[in-house]
Structure 1
């Protein structure tokens, strides 16, 4: 089972259409059999046309326009026992898994799916899969990797464009009424016949028939998408592909609506015309890259404008100033009280934890009262990476040592606190001012949305999240060619010892769930008490070691670094600052993503 999923993590670096091949192999160390066959014809890579909607085109197949073409790239059959382990796999291509027998659980993008006999699963590119095999479970699994393309109009002819992963059909556990048909078609794709053109064609037809059955049955259950749902998917598409030449009539056709009807539904759902939404998305993207981004014409090109003068005119209309003035007055190099192009608005709100300060500043708000943080030696200090914004503000102490008497004297109109404060025994906020308690989550975006709603900054909150998601995608595209398939461990020096940070920690969320790095086998899902000695840490089976430090752990951290230096681990060692690996919000996590990029660029010059 694990090897089957592992194949899906490799497919991104394979040719888009592989020549057919068939051979046998053995599971390493398990004595289990593996059979493999593939199908397809050699093909060059089609160049993208900026005038098309390649990722939306997959949606058209649901309305009968331009049905997709499927290319089987690899078919494998795994049988045998597999040891109990937790492994994470990023999926690079479309994959069908037919599990005839097995035991355990798969977590597909945080959604747990219990493994059961005669189960059909669809995995799509970009999906993160955590595999938890039951101890010594016997597996009988069929794996089929395929490519989904759609004919599209191009200048001078037609071309094949890849389909959007989520536009194909709903991923995950797929229900098919007649599983005997599924078993028959899967068997045809794994037929051991001679690797001739007719056999490959037979496999292609079997895959196409299976996908047709899956889509038709899922479509019958789901019914046509509502207009608001289609509009939201169009808006999400514009968020991702604002650089492209997006035509509103193509979006309307994709939704199956007349252009005027599409425009009316879009304005009703999103609050503005689709053309205005696209323009605002492009201008917000320009704000993110303007400071120090180079010539204006290059900035315009990067966000989808062909004409720098038209870009300047639209920028001034939406942002209230020209790009040049914006870059000079509110750029990141000179900003002190500015964030995302907006001067911070003072609000009489007291925040009680580091993360909340980060969230408010990202939302364009300057709190009236802020907490301190702790240095590595345990002494209180101003939050380092937010110091330019908050050094002059009144501080009320840190965590368990909050000065509630001083907070009362400062008379805030609202207090923001995490529910974990109650668990720590820090109470009494309601006696001072109305208090909003939020539920802390590893995924800061959920907390950000919650606080944005409370403070009336929903639009800014969504912009911050979209900007972060774009940043993660861009960094992932750069880093993966150098380290895809390698394993990672995040070590934290704490007062109790060197902790192997779990998958569900702050650092784990960013490294494993967002950037898609593969955790080493020693990384647990949610084990916060997994400690090792500095000597054992140096021997961990991982290609890269990330090392961070919590407050009060200076001596342990020095021992760890000394041991790693003695073992000459240097080239694969990356030291991380405290933010966002221990604390932080959107600002810290964005800095963390950029740090990862800079460190990998140094290592892989």
Structure 2
């Protein structure tokens, strides 16, 4: 009689487990394939034709969301379309091209392509991009964008606004489900999106303009009062702002803290005075430094040489040497 395989029973016992493993592997492969395909998780209306729609002042014709899961990058480089496209950068950075020149806009940014413009933009996995987009058209789009100040350029710096997400998701839902009056509702939602974006951009522009005026006042105080003892605290009190807010706003705008900016200003003023007949002590006093020793230390750290060395170096450079026939060397200032 043929002897039974001692491993046969074990194999039979483990077979259901192997079967389960195979199912899991198949599911993972399918899920991975889905992740690869869901780079552009978008929703379109019944037609992808980009012909203008003259039945509505403005209407969204297709809408979606770009999210990278596995691919290193994603690039759109389409032929010229007859409709508009608006992209909202919820997270990450989008790199776009206008007349073959590359630009970029980060989270909170809005990008608008006009009809007959080449759509060329890309984003990368390393930036963790999350981009909403919508194609729209209508018989009054130009006027609407003009009234909302959205037609002057391609990119606008907005805000990371949850309200945008809600409107985009509603547009996607309407175009996907195609229920009664979905075209009318998508038109209303597109108007709401444009007006909301315009309101946020105008608010940011107003705040930015207001901040510019405040910072100009700070610079004016620095330039007229640098010989005196001044601080950002005293300036903030004079302008009725908190010193922390003013310091943060100043640093963000100029890339230097108010103290560092004022020190640099005083050093530049001192460099001019050192070429005069003033003593180093007088230069220190006239540029707002408390004493000569402190001035020398700060100046040396900034310029790499002492005030005396700076004076000697530049005074020597300002003289021209001439030699007489008898060999005498005469120095004269240029």
Same fold (TM over 0.5): no
Q: Counting helix residues as a fraction of each chain, which structure ranks higher?
A: 2
Question: TM-score, normalising length from structure 1?
Answer: 0.23
Q: Which has the higher contact order (CA 8 A, sep 6+)?
A: 2
Taking structure 2 as the reference length, the TM-score comes to 0.39
